[in-house]
Amino acid sequence: MDMLLTRWWRLLELIGRLERVICVVLLSTIVMSITIQVITRYLFGQPLVWVEELAGYCFLWGVFLGAAVGMKELRHIRIETFVSRLSPRPQAMWRALTWAIATACCVIIAVQAWDIMDVESRSRTMSLPIDLPRHLFYSTPLFVCTVSIALTGLYLVCAELALGLAGRPVDAQLARLERERAAEEEDAQADAIAERIVAGAHAPSAPGTTRHGEGLL
């Protein structure tokens, strides 16, 4: 069971890295396309008609993939006022129940999104240089997102049950703690560098030396 959960989590991490790369590409596309639109509109007086539609489609894909990444990194908002008062094992069982409910909801939405694809495929994009069916930018990202979240949710259900029954730590939670620890260390290093820079700027000059903007007397 431990080996299965470990391999499952490694697969989810690989999927998450791919989703993050795609999100970066989508965000870069939005920034570049809007920048080009501003230049062509205000400098040349010839705006591109397809930029807004492309940016909107990239935004939709980015939102859905970002939600899937947030699930894998446990970044979605959770209210644990009640759960935090329980002992560790009941906490794990309660979290397993909530993950199971979220996973079931995602499966239902994924099935509905799959059914809607056939209807949406009948309409086409309006201004893109390439004529594409619109389901590629509406029901398809919704389907991909909910399937990815459901796979993560199913893993979390099994991992929380393993924690509650056998005390096995959840890989996703360990990864989150590691990221937070690394971020704290980076912040501490940045603060230390900033303090050294400030201290060096205010340190008195040694005799016989000059600072920038000062001349020898």
Question: Is the pLDDT confidence value at 211 over 70?
Answer: no
129 token code pair: 């240089």
- Smallest CA-to-CA distance from 100 within 160, 52, 145 is with 160
End-to-end CA distance of the chain, in Å? Answer: 78
* 177 contacts 110 by C-beta, under 8 angstroms: no
Nearest 5°: the CA angle 122, 113, 119 is: 15
What distance in Å separates the CA atoms of residue 151 and residue 63, rounded to the nearest whole number? 18
In a domain, 213, yes or no: no
Estimate the share of the chain in helix, then strand, then coil, as percent rounded to the nearest 5: 75, 0, 25
What distance in Å separates the CA atoms of residue 27 and residue 59, rounded to the nearest whole number? 8
Phi/psi of residue 49, nearest 5 degrees: -75, -20
DSSP letter at 76? S
105 token code pair: 């909801």
In a domain, 63, yes or no: yes
With pLDDT > 90 as the criterion, what percentage of the chain qualifies? 51
Residues near 171 by Cβ (< 8 Å), separated by ≥ 6? 5, 6, 9, 159
In a domain, 188, yes or no: yes
Digit-coded pLDDT (tens) for 170-188 = 888 888 889 889 988 888 8
Digit-coded pLDDT (tens) for 140-170 = 999 999 999 999 999 999 999 998 888 888 8
Nearest 5°: the CA angle 136, 11, 163 is: 120
In a domain, 68, yes or no: yes
Task: Output the pLDDT for position 214.
Answer: 46
| Band of pLDDT at residue 208, cut at 50, 70 and 90 | low
What distance in Å separates the CA atoms of residue 37 and residue 46, rounded to the nearest whole number? 9
Looking at per-residue confidence, does 45 or 104 come out higher?
A: 104
Looking at per-residue confidence, does 215 or 114 come out higher?
A: 114
Task: Output the pLDDT for position 102.
Answer: 95
What distance in Å separates the CA atoms of residue 77 and residue 27, rounded to the nearest whole number? 23
Domain count, the chain: 1
What distance in Å separates the CA atoms of residue 18 and residue 173, rounded to the nearest whole number? 20
In a domain, 214, yes or no: no
In a domain, 88, yes or no: yes
| Band of pLDDT at residue 18, cut at 50, 70 and 90 | very high
pTM given for the model: 0.82
In a domain, 50, yes or no: yes
Average pLDDT, integer, range 22-39: 94
DSSP letter at 204? P
In a domain, 207, yes or no: no
**Which of 9-23, 64-78, 200-214 is the least confident region?**
200-214
Mean pLDDT, rounded, of the chain: 88
30 token code pair: 């939005």
Question: Is the pLDDT confidence value at 215 over 60?
Answer: no
**Any idea how long the chain is?**
217
Task: Output the pLDDT for position 16.
Answer: 95
Domain that holds residue 29: 2-195
